[in-house]
Amino acid sequence: MKIYRYKSRAIQAPNYNQSKSVQRIGIEEVLTGLVQGQSASDLEERWARSMDRLGVQYDFRVRLSPLVAGTRRIGVAAQNAPGEIEIDFLAYHNGDTVPVQIDGEIAHFMTPAQAEADKEKTEAINATMEQVGAKELTRIPFTEILTKEMADRKAELLFI
């Protein structure tokens, strides 16, 4: 009896850097890898610097309990610690509380499972933040903040 083997196909990751003129880090940009004394990605630090330039107050890596929004629990894929979810930035501007999530190229966009986890996490954050009168979660894909200038412009659009 011959064992049947399924043919496997390699799934190619999408190419989000199609423009050769866009650099991930500008020449004049020097990053430290820190935001508010915590380890941060280049995208997170770039976004924090853009908010700093505008004078927007924020907290970095805010943890929320999904139980704040009632008995709803989120799936393991969306949790950072048992029973918690994390918001990259909780910004405070003109009396509004604005949760912001930075979507990097590795943990987002690649698979349907990642998209589903992001959707579930967004719903849980929105349900929790609604109770305190905060705005809905703003997701910023890495393709919109590849350079300092792009991040500054996105921050201006969001906060001005």
Question: 6 in a domain, yes or no?
Answer: no
Residue span of the structural domain in which 143 resides: 34-159
Question: 1 in a domain, yes or no?
Answer: no
Question: 19 in a domain, yes or no?
Answer: no
| Maximum average pLDDT range among 12-21, 50-59, 112-121, 131-140 | 50-59
- Domain with residue 39: its CATH number is 3.40.1350
pLDDT at position 124, please? 87
Question: 93 in a domain, yes or no?
Answer: yes
Cα distance between residue 82 and residue 98, in whole Å: 24
Long-range contacts of residues 80-89, Cβ cutoff 8 Å, at least 24 apart:
85/121, 85/124, 85/125, 85/128, 86/61, 86/62, 87/61, 87/62, 87/63, 87/125, 87/137, 88/44, 88/47, 88/60, 88/61, 89/44, 89/47, 89/48, 89/51, 89/58, 89/59, 89/60, 89/62
Query: Who has greater pLDDT, 110 or 75?
Result: 110
What does the CA dihedral 27, 158, 103, 129 come to, rounded to 10 degrees? Answer: 150
Number of domains observed in the structure of the chain: 1
> In whole angstroms, what separates CA 117 from the centre of its chain?
12
Q: Position 8: which residue type?
A: S
Question: 118 in a domain, yes or no?
Answer: yes
pLDDT at position 21, please? 38
93 sits in which H/E element? strand 85-93
Question: 74 in a domain, yes or no?
Answer: yes
3-state secondary structure of 145: coil
pLDDT at position 14, please? 52
> What are the backbone angles phi and psi of residue 96, rounded to the nearest 5°?
-100, 150
Query: Who has greater pLDDT, 68 or 88?
Result: 88
Average pLDDT across the chain, whole number: 81
Cα distance between residue 82 and residue 27, in whole Å: 40
Lowest-pLDDT range, 24-28, 63-67, 108-112?
A: 24-28
Mean pLDDT for the stretch of residues 52-80: 70
Q: Where are the beta strands (DSSP E) in 94-152?
A: 96-103, 138-141
pLDDT at position 127, please? 87
